[in-house]
Amino acid sequence: MSFIVPLGTAVFIVIFLILMSVAYVKAPPNQVFIVSGLNKQPRRFSGTASFIVPFAQRLDKLPLSHIALNIRTTAPLITKDLIKIKLEATAELRITPTDEGLTLAAQNFLNKTEREIAESAQLLVLSSLGEATSEFALSSLVLDRSLFSKQATSAISGNLKKLGLELISFNVQNITDDQKLIETMLEDSAAKLKENGKTAGSFDNATEEMLKLVKTHTQFRSGVGFDVHQLTKERPLILGGVRLPYEKGLLGHSDADVLVHAVMDALLGAAKLADIGVWFPDTNPQWKDADSLKLAAAVADKVRSKGYEIINIDAMVIAQAPKISPHFEEMAKNIAKALDVEAESVNVKATTTEKMGFCGEGLGMAAMASALLKKTA
């Protein structure tokens, strides 16, 4: 019977190790972990590790990443003068990183995925747009779009705040109506101004802006792109097609050029062509270690095949290190060449997160980009 003691000890050690592996958890920088139970005040942590008591405490999670929305109203919005309109817009939001915001978000989105949060936010944004639209007559909405955008932003922000969400940006892209009243209204207004004896060179700013709106109504589309990659010591660091001297590189299926990937997603979004995950999935060995600039060239071809011209790109790298600014011009030229546009059409910039979050801690890099397209066919 002497084997019983060692066996019991071994079983105890195994159980202890299992419990320890369950009890020690580390929250990634893009999530906040919330531990509750044992009649203690819930505690939150992100980017650090902590112990929990198995079976006695509960672990819940909230995502902290930025969430991009492409908004297209399916049901019509009703103006103050009872005109039905359709609207396209983009928005970016996140869970508010304050005690109050995290508390409200935990009540609404605990253990929800980013997609589920985005779906809830989309419904709230559409409802807010309905509220804002009902306060404007069609003429006011069309001829003073900036005021409508400001009012809509205020309504959206207020409603999102109740759920613990923060609106980072909101941009109206296009407003249409089935009866073509908007186009007629703009054209008539421009014609009356010309009848009053004004020439193109003497229009005041407001008039010039309105005439531009007449000429460009429904012709322009914009898109936003966002990408993030983990840093590792086993890869070269490539940004904008430039190989940078640095001790770490970005992990990914292709060359992991996070800057070019954000640009590609912005272009695809503007042309309503899904995203790079659809066209270049990481499950396809064809794209293993692929040159992202070549992929960007393919994206530009897809955009042009839908009848769009690339007007400009504005892109930003988010990283704590290394210093990227000396390479901005070369990166912009590389991207412009891949997209077959003038170098002046591409702007590259960078920022840090002041040593906060996964970028600030040197765990990864992110990039954002916006793209403007013009309908040519």
Q: What is the pLDDT of residues 125-164, one digit of tens each?
A: 999 999 999 998 888 887 777 888 889 999 999 999 999 9
How far is residue 336's CA from residue 342's CA, in Å, rounded to a whole number? 6
Residue 194 confidence (pLDDT):
59
List the structure tokens of 270.
């503007």
Residue 216 confidence (pLDDT):
47
| pLDDT over 90 at 229, yes or no | yes
Residue 23 confidence (pLDDT):
67
Whether residue 269 contacts residue 223, with contact meaning beta carbons closer than 8 Å, is answered with yes
Q: Mean pLDDT throughout 264-281?
A: 92
List the structure tokens of 74.
């399916």
Residue 1 confidence (pLDDT):
47
Comparing 323 with 39, which gets the higher pLDDT?
323
How far is residue 337's CA from residue 327's CA, in Å, rounded to a whole number? 16
| pLDDT over 60 at 211, yes or no | no
**CATH numbers and ranges of domains, the chain:** 22-63 (no CATH), 67-179 (3.30.479.30), 220-375 (3.30.1330.50)
Total-model pTM: 0.49
Residue 292 confidence (pLDDT):
94
| pLDDT tens-place string over residues 8-59 | 666 666 655 555 555 667 777 777 887 777 767 777 777 777 777 666 677 7
Average pLDDT, the chain: 84
Comparing 3 with 128, which gets the higher pLDDT?
128
| pLDDT over 60 at 309, yes or no | yes
Alpha helices in 76-216 (DSSP H): 99-109, 114-133, 138-143, 145-161, 181-195, 205-216
| pLDDT over 80 at 84, yes or no | yes
Other C-beta atoms closer than 10 Å to the C-beta of 313 total 24
Confidence of residue 369 (pLDDT cuts 50, 70, 90): very high
| pLDDT over 50 at 235, yes or no | yes
Residue 54 confidence (pLDDT):
67
Q: Mean pLDDT throughout 78-83?
A: 88
Lowest mean pLDDT among 82-91, 210-219, 276-285, 318-327: 210-219
Which residues make Cβ contacts (< 8 Å) with residue 259, sequence separation at least 6?
A: 239, 240, 315, 317, 331, 335, 348, 367, 369
262 three-class SS: helix
% of the chain beyond a pLDDT of 70: 82
How far is residue 225's CA from residue 232's CA, in Å, rounded to a whole number? 23
Comparing 188 with 220, which gets the higher pLDDT?
220
